[in-house]
Amino acid sequence: MHEAPVINLGGFHLDLSVLIMLVVTCAIVFVVAKLATRKLSVENPGKLQNFMEWAVEFVRNMISSTMDWKKGKPFLSLAMTMIMFIFVANMLGLPLGIVTEYHDAEKAKIFGQEITTVTSVLKEQHEEHPGEEAHAEVAWWKSPTADLSVTMGLALLVFVLSHGLGLFKNTKSYLKHYVQPYPFFLPINIIEQLSKLLTHGVRLFANIFAGEVLIGTIMTLAKASIFGAIFSIPLLMVWDGFSIFVGAIQSFVFVILMMVYIGQSIESHDEEHEH
Amino acid sequence: MNFVWENTVIALIAIGILYFLLNKYAFGPLFSVMEKRRELVQQQLSEAAQTREQAAAYVEEQKSALQEARKEAYEIIEQSKQTSSKQATHLLQQAKDEATRMKDEAVRDIQSEKNKAVEQLRSEVGAVSVKIASKLIEKEVGEEKVQGELVDQYLKEVGGRS
């Protein structure tokens, strides 16, 4: 089990791996988007521009499938940002991992700051198995979406956005749907909304995290012996392929759920009954 | 796996910055270009439709013009046919009239010539017969009155025979 490199900055627990990976993800997404839109042309689009336009059309179809396109148009940019960010984030953990090992709590430092997770793990192991050498591994390179607190952040953003829009732009029918079909359904409806938030974040995290855990396990097998290394190559190929698939699907699922939640909040239910 | 709320904050900040940057530098221009292309396509489609309509109208116009020309040509032919047949009849009639007239004239000429000849003959025959008769009768008939009666009777007989 890999630890996260967390340092304590005056009470603020900064997870360096998450910070690094978020910066890397954002940089890749921005560079790709910027390259694709560098030489914009109406009549003669380049390959990258074509690809980007295909992606925009794809996201646009996702939005129109969940809500009225007139209402959904402002979210196109956000949905594009989200799907690119999550897709790139999901992919980042696949090709490589950077792991450092620590045995001594005194050496577990970066920029002169103590890596608190490592020291606490080492201390725990010392207490459990006194006399044995303690051992902790820190993952520096991983998918940022393999961190629950990051995916919950994204889910929280969607939660706040959808409910805020519902509350301010569509107040009457938004509030009404909490007491439907009967007023005593209110607690159930509230739980439903909260469970949406939870599942939205956890689904993405669990899928990506599970993929990375299995990759880590296969790597352990590869390190074990020469036969393990040979055997691990096809295994890793298969699992990497599957992880790419899962990563793509999860980014799609996350964004389409985002649009569904926003759509549910801003679409008035009176209209729905008429349809 | 610990839930580190600081990560949530960092993630939200990161996605916020990314959204802002992408919106401003990448998606904004991209969407406007796509919108422009959509407008261009729309415009070209409507232009094509317009051109097609114009072409159809033009073809229709040509068709009607052709129809008119055909009708006109037919009329001209018909008219000329009529004129020529009329003219032919007229010419024929004229020729007939001319022929009749000439025939009548000829008949009249013949008649008058014949009458003239008969008259001449009659007078000549009269004179000749008088001479003959006078020569014959000089000896037999002395009286002039009897002579004239005889001549007339004789002449009547000759004229009735002729």
Indicate yes or no: CB of A153 within 8 angstroms of CB of B19. Answer: no
**Domain boundaries, given as residue ranges, for chain A:** 39-98+140-274
What is the residue type of B30? Answer: L
Q: Are B23 and A81 in contact (CB under 8 A)?
A: yes
CA distance B72 to chain A (A): 52
Determine the 3-state secondary structure of A128 from DSSP: helix
Q: Are A86 and A62 in contact (CB under 8 A)?
A: no
Asked if B7 is an interface residue toward chain A (Cβ–Cβ < 8 A), one would say yes
What is the residue type of B111? Answer: Q
Q: Are A55 and A79 in contact (CB under 8 A)?
A: no
pLDDT for the residue numbered A225: 84
How many domains does chain B contain in total? 1
pLDDT band at A85 (very low <50, low <70, confident <90, very high): very high
Asked if B14 is an interface residue toward chain A (Cβ–Cβ < 8 A), one would say yes
DSSP percent split of chain B into helix, strand, coil, nearest 5: 95, 0, 5
Chain B partners within 8 Å of A82 (Cβ): 15
pLDDT for the residue numbered B141: 59
List A residues 36-75 in contact with B (Cβ-Cβ < 8 A).
36-37, 40-43, 45, 49, 52-53, 56
User: What would the pLDDT profile of A203-257 be if each residue is shown by its tens digit?
Assistant: 999 999 999 888 888 888 888 888 888 888 898 899 999 999 999 999 999 999 9
Residues in chain B: 162
Asked if A14 is an interface residue toward chain B (Cβ–Cβ < 8 A), one would say yes
Q: Residue A95: is its pLDDT beyond 50? A: yes
What is the residue type of A173? Answer: S
Indicate yes or no: CB of A149 within 8 angstroms of CB of B21. Answer: no
Nearest CA in chain B to A11: B6
Most confident by average pLDDT, A76-80, A96-100, A185-189, B48-52: B48-52
User: If we measure between CA atoms, which residue out of A220, A236, A226, A166 comes closest to residue A196?
Assistant: A166
Chain A partners within 8 Å of B31 (Cβ): 56, 76-77
Return the bridge partners of A110, or none: A113
What is the Cα–Cα distance from A140 to B103, expressed in whole angstroms?
Answer: 139
What is the Cα–Cα distance from A135 to A235, expressed in whole angstroms?
Answer: 27
Q: Residue A25: is its pLDDT beyond 70? A: yes
Give the number of other Cβ atoms within 10 Å of residue B17's Cβ.
Answer: 14
Quick one: what percent of chain A has pLDDT higher than 70?
95
Determine the 3-state secondary structure of A37 from DSSP: coil
What is the Cα–Cα distance from A214 to A242, expressed in whole angstroms?
Answer: 11
User: What would the pLDDT profile of A205-219 be if each residue is shown by its tens digit?
Assistant: 999 999 988 888 888
Chain A partners within 8 Å of B22 (Cβ): 29-30, 33, 77, 80-81, 84
Mean pLDDT on A72-95: 90
CB crowding A91-101: b at 16 or more within 10 Å, else e: bbbbeebeebe
Residues 6+ apart with CB under 8 A from A19: B10
List, for chain B, all residue ranges whose pLDDT scores fall below the cut of 70: 1-2, 137-144, 160-162
pLDDT for the residue numbered A274: 44
Helix (H) / strand (E) element for B64: namely helix B28-137
Domain that holds residue B30: 5-161
Interface test with A, best of B4, B9, B40 (most A CBs within 10 A): B4
List A residues 180-209 in contact with B (Cβ-Cβ < 8 A).
209
User: If we measure between CA atoms, which residue out of B102, B82, B7 comes closest to residue A205?
Assistant: B7
Give the number of other Cβ atoms within 10 Å of residue A222's Cβ.
Answer: 17
What is the Cα–Cα distance from A115 to A17, expressed in whole angstroms?
Answer: 12
pLDDT for the residue numbered A1: 61
User: What would the pLDDT profile of B75-102 be if each residue is shown by its tens digit?
Assistant: 999 999 999 999 999 999 999 999 999 9
Mean pLDDT on A74-96: 90
pLDDT for the residue numbered B86: 94
Q: Which residue has the higher pLDDT, A173 or A164?
A: A164
Nearest CA in chain B to A35: B26
pLDDT for the residue numbered B16: 92
Chain B partners within 8 Å of A36 (Cβ): 26, 30
CA distance B19 to chain A (A): 6
User: What would the pLDDT profile of A131-172 be if each residue is shown by its tens digit?
Assistant: 777 777 888 888 889 888 899 999 999 999 999 998 888 888
Interface test with B, best of A35, A80, A138 (most B CBs within 10 A): A80
Mean residue pLDDT across chain A: 85
pLDDT band at A260 (very low <50, low <70, confident <90, very high): very high
ipTM of predicted assembly, 2 dp: 0.84
Kindly give the residue spans of alpha helices, DSSP state H, lying in chain A: 16-36, 47-66, 69-72, 76-92, 116-128, 148-169, 171-176, 186-224, 226-266, 269-274
pLDDT for the residue numbered A275: 44
pLDDT for the residue numbered A172: 84
